[in-house]
Amino acid sequence: DIQMTQSPSVLSASVGDRVTLNCKASQNINKYLNWYQQKLGEAPKLLIYNTNNLQTGIPSRFSGSGSGTDYTLTISSLQPEDVATYFCFQHNSWPDTFGAGTKLELK
């Protein structure tokens, strides 16, 4: 199975900061990497699919990049409503697997 490792596990940042979240796969996942945002008490929401495609309705301050085993989610200017846990997800090969998540907090 492909293991997905997210870092950091907790990130504290200020409003307006540029924030970078990382996700590393245990093997090449050919850019089949999605990012989800989960706010407290809510279902996860798709932000980015296949590394760098912004889901409809998601603000443009969110962007994704990466290739091979290393992927990044960037928030260009952190907003208060971005406080959430972010999960990466690989769907290159079965079984699909999630990272453990990065909890994003306001400083």
Partner 1 sequence: VQLVESGGGLVQPGKSLKLSCSASGFTFSSYGMHWIRQAPGKGLDWVAYISSSSGTVYADAVKGRFTISRDNAKNTLYLQLNSLKSEDTAIYYCARGTTGAYWGQGTLVTVSS
Instruction: Determine, following the binding rule CB under 8 A, whether residue 44 of this chain makes contact with partner 1.
Output: yes
Return the number of the residue (80 or 95) whose C-beta is nearest partner 1.
Answer: 95
Instruction: Determine, following the binding rule CB under 8 A, whether residue 71 of this chain makes contact with partner 1.
Output: no
Instruction: Determine, following the binding rule CB under 8 A, whether residue 96 of this chain makes contact with partner 1.
Output: yes
Instruction: Determine, following the binding rule CB under 8 A, whether residue 101 of this chain makes contact with partner 1.
Output: yes
Angle, CA 50 vertex, CA 100 and CA 36 arms, to 5°: 35
Tokens (6 digits) for 39: 């706010």
Tell me how far, at minimum, the Cβ of 38 lies from partner 1, in Å. 8
Tell me how far, at minimum, the Cβ of 12 lies from partner 1, in Å. 20
Angle, CA 13 vertex, CA 11 and CA 66 arms, to 5°: 60
d(C-alpha 33, C-alpha 52), whole Å: 9
Stretch that binds partner 1, among 13-21, 41-49, 67-75, 76-84 (CB under 8 A): 41-49
Tell me if 87 sits within 8 A of 99, measured CB to CB: yes
